[in-house]
Each structure stands twice: as C-alpha cells, then as structure tokens.
Amino acid sequence: MEYVFPPHAQPSLAVAGNHARFPVRRIFCVGRNYAEHAREMGALDQASGFEPPFFFMKPADAIVSGDGELQVNYPPLTKNLHHEVEMVVALSAGGANVTVDAANALIFGYAVGLDLTRRDVQAKAKEKGHPWDMGKGFDQSAVCSEIHPASSVGHPSSGGICLKVNGEMRQDGDLSDMGWNVAEIIANLSTMVRLEAGDLIYTGTPAGVGPVVPGDLLEAELAGVASLRARIV
Ligand code: MN
C-alpha cells in the first residue's frame, strides 16, 4: 500500500504480563452512569428520576499511556479542566446487537482511566445544544493504565474506584453504583454501532469531579485491578 504521507502510528496500550500491546480502535464513553455524579451535574432530579446513560466518543489517538508517572499537557481553550476517574473496558471481539448474556465474551480486559474534560467548553456546548466533542475529545484527553486481562482479574462488578489529587481523595466510588453494568453497556452500545476488537469503553465516573491545574498529581485506582499516576504539566 502506498500513501501520500506516512500513516500515523497505531495507538495502543500495554497489557499486564504480556509483551504484546492492545491496538486501540475507537474510544466510547458513557455519560452519567453513576446517579451521584448525574446529581452533581444537575442532570438528576427527584421528579424525573434517573436519566438513562448515553454515549460520546474520543479519538483513539487521544490516549495517554505508558510506564510510571504519565505527563498530560494542560489543554488550550479551558480554565476548568476536570478529572473523571473511570473503569475502562477493552474489547478483543466485536458484534452488533450483542445480548447482555453474551457481552462478557467480547471483553479482553480492564483498565483505569481518566476522562479529562474541558468542563467550561462542555457547559457552553450543552447550553447551546451543540456537540460535546471539543469539551471531551481534545488531545491527550483519554488517560489510561495498562490493561489487565479478564483471564487474570475476572469481570469486576463491585469494588472501589477512586482518584486522589496531590494525595487528597477527590473521587471515592464503587463499581456497584453504576447505573448500567458493563454487560448492559456493551449490549446497548452494540445496538447503535457494530463493536469491534480494539474498542475501549470508558464506563462513566462516580461523584466528586473537579478541576486540576498544572503541577497536580492524579492517582487513580480500580481496587485490585489497575492503577495509574499522571502529572498535569
Ligand atoms: Mn466521563
């Protein structure tokens, strides 16, 4: 194959216990998957009850990953860059209209990630009914740990998911509080697009999102599964 310029490198993630890497195809994200976070964003009231989750995307090359302390450049256009700690599901098989019972068979493994968000840009888009892309899908907006295969960590459905900023606990949630569980997310998403091997799904954030500034150290942990450290520079 000849190209008019050299193609970009394939975005990929390290896999725990394996020298081979996980090639990233697409990054899907679930919005409002924890009731407490929906409440803090003003998207949940007692009268209407829980608004179902929904999806948005980031480009595959928005991934930030690697060994040790990751470096994330503070992005342009924002004065309110927010952290959202999330469990990330990595697929090694695809399908359309996948049933909830068949969903786990698509999963290669799990990671912990940060859905970095230009909250002020997102808020402006929401207000105008515009797309969220520039609030969510900017460069280096998808921080991710190495992937831990389901063959070694199983399919976690409960357990702590937390984020410390400069040593102080900011988000302290539990996977069991997800509105849609992972199998339901996969089933639902696969009615909208055909899922493929290499797809990542960020599964939503618990409450406690807030701003970070250059110099901050973010430490994310999915208890017993994965962890990451990232410095905003
Ligand atoms: Mn999120």
Residue 201 and residue 224: Cα distance in Å, rounded?
A: 19
Average pLDDT over residues 90-107: 98
Residue 202 and residue 112: Cα distance in Å, rounded?
A: 9
DSSP state of 137: S
Per-residue confidence band for 100, with pLDDT thresholds at 50, 70 and 90: very high
126-167 pLDDT per residue, tens:
999 999 999 999 999 999 999 999 999 999 999 999 999 999
Strand partners, 34: 178
What's the CA-to-centroid distance between 202 and ligand 1, angstroms?
7
Residue 37 and residue 27: Cα distance in Å, rounded?
A: 21
Question: How buried is residue 200: exposed, middle or buried, by Cβ count under 10 Å (0-12/13-18/19+)?
Answer: buried
What's the CA-to-centroid distance between 190 and ligand 1, angstroms?
19
Domain ranges of the chain: 12-232
Contact yes or no for 84/205 (Cβ under 8 A): yes
What's the CA-to-centroid distance between 28 and ligand 1, angstroms?
10
Instruction: Say whether pLDDT at 91 is over 70.
Output: yes
What's the CA-to-centroid distance between 4 and ligand 1, angstroms?
36
Instruction: Say whether pLDDT at 90 is over 70.
Output: yes
- Domain over 12-232 is classified CATH 3.90.850.10: yes
What's the CA-to-centroid distance between 1 and ligand 1, angstroms?
38
What pLDDT, on a 0 to 100 scale, did the predictor assign at position 102?
Answer: 98
Enter the tokens of residue 35.
Answer: 């009731």
Instruction: Say whether pLDDT at 47 is over 60.
Output: no
What's the CA-to-centroid distance between 181 and ligand 1, angstroms?
15
Residue 89 and residue 108: Cα distance in Å, rounded?
A: 8
Enter the tokens of residue 153.
Answer: 């960590």
What pLDDT, on a 0 to 100 scale, did the predictor assign at position 131?
Answer: 96
Residue 137 and residue 232: Cα distance in Å, rounded?
A: 17
Pairing of strands 148-149, 142-144: unpaired
Instruction: Say whether pLDDT at 5 is over 80.
Output: yes
